[in-house]
């Protein structure tokens, strides 16, 4: 039986439409709020249809020197064009992009995990510099 870590894929988001993108300032001040934007399909658009879509993105922060990461955000994308008339008949679609604000006293690493209903779990990471 495979471990879940063996099922998570990663790639450069500039070449793979499923890899999440994490955007943060180059450096943040200790204890001051800063914005984080996570998305899928920034360079290569991901389909957003009933049959093929990003269902959610979760974000974790692992501060340097601590044993475990913290789950800091989760975004569910629930509208993919489905309606009572069938697939891709609605005028409502959510895009897999979300922004949140966080703060930390320590540097560390942000991890984003996204889920495509066809292609599974994808991850990426980005360092946070505190200065």
**DSSP SS3 for 84:** coil
Catalytic choice (14, 32, 43, 52)? 52
Catalytic residue, candidates 62, 119, 123, 126: 119
Question: Out of 6, 14, 18, 32, which one is annotated catalytic?
Answer: 18
- Our answer to whether residue 52 is catalytic in this structure is yes
Residue 106: active-site member: no
80 is annotated as an active-site residue: no
Whole-Å CA distances, 103 to 24, 32, 108, 118 = 12, 5, 12, 34
Q: Is 16 a residue of the active site?
A: yes
46 catalytically annotated = yes
17 flagged as catalytic: yes
Strands annotated E in 50-107:
54-63, 70-76, 97-102
Which residues participate in catalysis according to the annotation?
Answer: 16-18, 46, 52, 116, 119
């Amino acid at each position: 039986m495979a471990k879940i870590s063996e099922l998570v894929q990663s790639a450069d988001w500039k070449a793979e439409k499923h890899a999440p993108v994490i955007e943060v300032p180059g450096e943040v001040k200790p204890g001051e709020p800063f914005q984080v934007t996570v998305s899928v399909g920034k360079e290569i658009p991901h389909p957003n249809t009933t049959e093929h879509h990003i269902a959610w993105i979760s974000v974790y922060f692992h501060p340097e020197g601590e044993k475990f990461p913290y789950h800091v955000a989760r975004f569910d994308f629930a509208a993919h064009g489905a309606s009572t008339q069938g697939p891709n008949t609605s005028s409502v679609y959510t895009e897999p992009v979300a922004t949140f604000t966080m703060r930390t006293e320590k540097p560390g690493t942000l991890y984003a995990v996204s889920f495509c209903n066809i292609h599974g779990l994808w991850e990426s990471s980005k360092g946070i510099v505190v200065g």
